Amino acid sequence: MSPTSPLPASTSPETASGTVLIRSAADVSDLVNSGTARGRHARMIVIIALGGIFLDAYDLSSLAYGLPDITKEFGLSSAMAGLVTASISVGSLLGALLGGWLVDRIGRYRVFMANMLFFVVTALVCAVAQDAWTLISARFVMGIGVGMDIPVAIAFLAEFSRLRGKGSKGSRTAAWSPAWYAATSGCYLVIMLLYFVLPDAQLGWLWRFTVGFGAVPALVVLLLRRRYMNESPTWAADQGDLESAAKILRQSYGVDARVADDVPANTPRPPRPGPASYARLFTPPYRARTIQSVTVGIAETFGYNAVAFGLPVIIATLMTQGPLTTIASSFALNLVFALTGGLLGIRWASTKGAWPMMSLGFTIQLVAIVVLGLIGAPSGTAVVTAGILMLGAFMFAQGFGPGAHIMSYASLGFPTSMRGVSIGFNQAVLRLGSTLTLFFFPILSTGLGTDVYWVILAAPVLGLIALLVKRWEPVGFDADAEERALAGTGAAARS
């Protein structure tokens, strides 16, 4: 069997009088993967996980429009403006590494519950910051929360979903993309509403209200998490705690799951992973998947941060449009193009897979950037409209292609035992790319003008190269079954 082919699911756990008997972690994994176990709490956990991603995107996007006002208010140089925007990415880089390890070591639930406090407190501190260094420090700490949240949120999306079909792991990990763009659209909607509400003399404070508003949804998600969240049953079972896994199945899925009587009571538990667990990402069969997921991720994050995050800069500066046009265009591009693409990404994930959608997305982005580079500085309504439509095409392709499926590549090819570190490592590398992009993009756009498009062109080119080198399809792949098969092969070889 090819290492990239989905492994067959094992048979369902034995049932007796409506009771599901659990004898191993494989029984728990197969029960969730089959989709026969469904429950209201399990669906709420998926929604809450997407709510965490919504907050990540809102906080990352909330300063996009306000950067010129921040630069003016604090008298920042281009380098300091880049530091303001990049500080959250530096924090998220560290948060991803720490969070990825903790997610596998102490569980999904504990990390999930802890990091909401980062969002509430830091959003309020950013809103009242009186100098650039306070703002930079608060955004850095906020980034730690963002970095910790993504590994645990994606792990929940994967581990509370069936392997194939409607509501599959592929569809739900792809759902992080429309959640992200719903947040960025919501952010621009908040900005637009505040633009009309605030007096002209107070428009310089618009960024403060926008950033501070992020504390409101954070509190809502925190309250929902306290009521509905539960540990991942597959993680609990993978730790050897079958009793807890059965309890979670009863609470979250409404399944009468019980540990079989013939299972030894004192089953030894596997050692908890330490920081060295990141080294496992570079052992077969995970090495090639790690390298490919990181490479397509770097391409995606470079293109996203330069174009999507930089929309206000591109429209206001490179296209020389006024503030209202800039806000309205940024809102429409996120809502109409990116969010629509993300919703289609969910629909297509299970039927078409991640590889074809990523390849098509990068191809459309390549064409869009080439056209923008040829247009240069637009003059006249028709040319400006064409330029904005090319930005829309880029965002649409981002939504269903690389934006949706970088998480599929980072999570679905890796088993429960190392899913946290795989996502954490992937996100850490991506955040390093984000940090460099957010720091240098204001400098490059100022120095190069519209020639900056030819620099951005490197993103889709790199993504296509990485996909063409190895056609690896993570959607529908059972990494836990593969891990068990590899363990069985190793045990047989040693005997």
pLDDT band at 489 (very low <50, low <70, confident <90, very high): low
Q: Name the residue with tokens 């069969």.
A: 285
pLDDT, tens only, 392-446: 899 899 989 998 898 899 999 999 989 999 999 998 888 888 777 767 776 777 7
Q: Check pLDDT > 50 for residue 7.
A: no
**Beta pairing partners, 257:** 20
| % of the chain residues with pLDDT over 90 | 18
Q: What are phi and psi of 294, to 5 degrees?
A: -70, -40
Residues 48, 212: Cα–Cα separation, whole Å: 21
- Strand pairing class (257-259; 19-22): parallel
pLDDT band at 3 (very low <50, low <70, confident <90, very high): very low
Residues 57, 61: Cα–Cα separation, whole Å: 6
pLDDT, tens only, 111-145: 887 777 778 888 899 889 999 999 999 989 988 88
Q: Name the residue with tokens 């045990």.
A: 491
Instruction: Say what the pLDDT of residue 11 is.
Output: 44
pLDDT, tens only, 44-69: 888 888 888 887 778 777 776 677 78
Task: Write out the two tokens for 353.
Answer: 């897979």
Q: Check pLDDT > 80 for residue 235.
A: yes
pLDDT, tens only, 276-312: 788 999 999 999 999 999 999 999 988 887 776 656 5
Q: Check pLDDT > 70 for residue 2.
A: no
pLDDT band at 493 (very low <50, low <70, confident <90, very high): low
- Kindly report the CA angle at 302 between 213 and 216, in degrees rounded to 5? 10
Instruction: Note if the bond before 178 is cis, omega within 30 degrees.
Output: no
Instruction: Say what the pLDDT of residue 306 is.
Output: 79
Residues 406, 177: Cα–Cα separation, whole Å: 10
Q: Check pLDDT > 90 for residue 461.
A: yes
